[in-house]
């Protein structure tokens, strides 16, 4: 497979190119550092999704009763929800910061052609 490296300066000038999906053909064509960077990014994005699901599972209910860690907790509004999920929100912030680091590293390695990188940059507030 032909390498399609796209670096920040190219993206700033021309925008993102047509995205290339990370496939069984594309992944092995990458250098080890690039593969490791993408694997870590994917791991962080999966962790981020899990934490978001945990936070959303503790959303306020109509009855105001929420079962958390085998106990009953009152969660009647958004303020209660924020307090109840402070630990998860802290974890999420930390994971998001690491994901941003790996997205930036991916861009620095020229992996801006990948759909994974292109889709996650705006979601994580990365302006190229």
- List the chain domain ranges: 8-123
pLDDT at 8: 92
Query: What pLDDT, in 10s, does the model give residues 55-105?
Result: 998 887 777 777 777 777 777 788 888 999 999 999 999 999 999 999 999
Q: Where are the beta strands (DSSP E) in 1-128?
A: 65-68, 71-74
Closest alpha carbon to 44 in 93, 10, 111, 113: 93
pTM of the predicted structure, to 2 decimals: 0.88
The pLDDT assigned to 61 comes to 75
> In Å, what is the CA distance from 25 to each residue of 3, 20, 55, 115?
12, 11, 36, 14
């Amino acid at each position: 497979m032909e390498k399609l490296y796209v670096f920040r300066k190219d993206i700033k000038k021309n925008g993102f190119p047509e995205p290339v999906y990370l496939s069984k053909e594309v992944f092995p064509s990458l250098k080890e550092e690039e593969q490791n960077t993408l694997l870590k990014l994917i791991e962080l994005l999966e962790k981020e999704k899990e934490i978001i699901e945990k936070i959303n599972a503790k959303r306020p209910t109509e009855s105001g009763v929420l079962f958390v860690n085998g106990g009953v907790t009152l969660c009647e509004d958004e303020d209660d929800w924020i307090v109840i999920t402070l630990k998860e929100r802290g974890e999420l912030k930390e994971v998001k910061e690491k994901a941003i680091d790996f997205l930036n590293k991916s861009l620095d390695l020229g992996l801006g052609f990948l759909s994974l990188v292109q889709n996650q940059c705006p979601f994580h507030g990365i302006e190229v």
